[in-house]
Homo-oligomer: A and B are copies of this chain.
Amino acid sequence: MSTLLVLGGARSGKSRFAENWVAAQGTCFAYIATAQALDEEMAQRIERHRADRGDAWQTLEAPMDLAGSIADAGGNSDAILVDCLTLWLSNWILAEKHPPVSELVEAVIVCPRPIALVANEVGLGIVPDNALARRFRDEAGRLNQAVAAAVEQVVLMVAGLPVEVKN
């Protein structure tokens, strides 16, 4: 099945590009959100995004068990959007647990529907002072490599435009 990894920096148009790609694959879609509504403002923002996507999209929340949600979503939708892997990684690191990257990669590989995954590229700035930030960017880089190796197509978003990395 068709698989896409959308990489990019802050406000680079990653989510919109991935959403358009998924929306071109059928009529009903799963949106797997890794963000957690930790406060009222965040809850409102998540609700607003859900309303913006409209009725064709079913929203699943998967702050931790992403592989399980991908497996569930595969049976009920024409295509799947995971937004985003970097937040999922952050949730595991904050929980002080080892992120199950190979389980996630396996779920992507066996997914019976087209799937697009969004992730942040965070490794192209100066080395952070902070040890946790250094560890996070190392883990994010390894995660992006593992997923990029498993999918068919990778793009890097630059100012809202896709640069082809793997095709």
Contacts and interface: CB of A to CB of B under 8 A. Distances in A.
B9 A121 contact: yes
A137 B7 contact: no
Interface in A78-128: 121-128
Interface residues of A, number: 40
Interface in A126-147: 126-130, 133, 136-142, 144-145, 147
A159 interface: yes
Interface stretch (A22-30, A37-45, A65-73, A148-156): A148-156
15 contacts: A8-B123, A9-B125, A9-B137, A10-B137, A12-B145, A121-B124, A123-B125, A125-B125, A125-B126, A126-B137, A144-B159, A148-B160, A149-B160, A154-B158, A156-B163
